[in-house]
Amino acid sequence: MPTLSLEDTQTVTQDAAQDAIVFENVSIAFQEKVVLDEISFRLPRGETKAIFGVAGSGKSTILKLVLGLIKPDRGRIVVLGENVTEMREEDLFELRRKIGMVFQESALFDSLTVRENVAFRLLEEGNVSEEETEKRVREALRFVELENTVDKYPSELSGGMRRRVAIARAIITQPEVILYDSPTGGLDPVTSNTIIELIVKQRDVYKTSALLVTHRLQDAFTMATHYFDSKTNHMQPLPPGAHSEVPMAFMVLRDGKVIFDGDVQQLVKTKDEYIREFISLD
């Protein structure tokens, strides 16, 4: 593992405090299989970074590492200025309250109604009045355009609706960071577009930092080429040449390594054969 001098460490620590997420030489293996091998990257505050890679390349593992749900074998992970690799599980609960997570299969609590699911975090904190909770639940559900499902159970909703409820649950406390694990996976193009619009809205309206794991390159390209227009309440295409105006980055994983980390312009101009093939296949 590369060693850092004192000066380097201080610089890293300063940067880490400014960035939402910092990975430094992080490695993890599951039963002899190395999933992530000395990966390093940073997510500046307010930016959304889309992570690509084939199935099993460690994309979802990165999200679980950010939340401290699993610990790396080596390396350091700093989230919102706190080193999660050294934190105890009890201390992590406080940090996790500042992070929203949308799971691949939504992971809604099936014995609770949509209202209870979305309000879960507020109810757990216990310091929010009933009226305030109801108001914020309705606001969050209005954001995902599902206010009419408030009394339904997750089993009564379609896959796309469940994904949107999961987004409402993640954003209700306006977290500083949101982690999306394949939010459009297995959904039809129309529903996928609705979800992407919501993610763009969250990025541009609330300036939330986000990591987005996806297999669908076109979703990330849509995010890089569109902005959310609050007047029309819809996503609009950016004028030609204005792509750098949205805080959107791309990261590609291969064999446990980060082989690309940059913006959309750098991605389309890359000479890397694997990445070019990846783009053309999508």
Site residues, other proteins (CB under 8 A): 64, 67, 69, 89-90, 93-94, 96-97, 99, 101, 103-105, 107-110, 120-121, 124, 126, 169
- Please, which residue, 94 or 277, has the CB nearer to other proteins? 94
In the bound complex, what is the minimum distance in angstroms from residue 213's beta carbon to other proteins? 14
**Nearest alpha carbon to residue 132 among 145, 146, 121:** 121
In the bound complex, what is the minimum distance in angstroms from residue 92's beta carbon to other proteins? 8
- Please, which residue, 108 or 223, has the CB nearer to other proteins? 108
In the bound complex, what is the minimum distance in angstroms from residue 120's beta carbon to other proteins? 6
In the bound complex, what is the minimum distance in angstroms from residue 117's beta carbon to other proteins? 9
- Please, which residue, 5 or 127, has the CB nearer to other proteins? 127
- Please, which residue, 4 or 29, has the CB nearer to other proteins? 29
User: Burial code of 171-196, b = ≥16 C-beta within 10 A, e = fewer?
Assistant: bbbebbbbbbbbbbbebeeebbbbbb
In the bound complex, what is the minimum distance in angstroms from residue 179's beta carbon to other proteins? 8
In the bound complex, what is the minimum distance in angstroms from residue 229's beta carbon to other proteins? 31
- Please, which residue, 199 or 275, has the CB nearer to other proteins? 199
- Please, which residue, 92 or 238, has the CB nearer to other proteins? 92
- Phi, psi angles (nearest 5°) of residue 239: -65, 155
